[in-house]
Structure 1
């Protein structure tokens, strides 16, 4: 990315089910959910959202091999999206195992996202 215009951060948690993709999607949604960039088109090459670049950096505590990157990319509505995975995030106890929620154990997965927008 030549020029970063915005960086937003978010956190996502899968409390039950131990689904790292669900936690990652929630982290990205949390990062972008409260934002509007009405002037972004005016600074992009050719004033086109197709020229916007979005890098999603995810701090993931475990199950990196089970993370569905395409599902995470689909959360971003515009631009050319890349996803970078780094060590981080957290696992901790939810305090209870709920088999009907898909729990395999009592762990909840916490993922942190940084979403960089630019061109």
Structure 2
């Protein structure tokens, strides 16, 4: 496990429209475009992240392949934001970007957090509690 502690995490998934995701992840969640590529074996992609964060998101679009929407409403990214003022700022930013909260598939997330759905149907929770472990 020690080896994994020093690494960065990339969460990657396909999409049918890279441009449609930018308002959600960049304008709404505040991610920055940290890399991109085009035409790599018929695949275009973008990497989005936060400065200094040990993780980033990669979205790819493959020519001739349909990625489709999220297979369920319970495919989640969860960010723990235990400071109430920061959580409210983030919620306000999402709403200003045109993404109102949606009811969570699992009602647990509605108790202290807000769930938002991206253009592909994948969801992000801004959780108002600290990570319990």
Give the TM-score normalised by the residue count of structure 1. Answer: 0.30
- Where relative contact order (Cα < 8 A, 6+ residues apart) is larger, the structure is 1
Give the TM-score normalised by the residue count of structure 2. Answer: 0.28
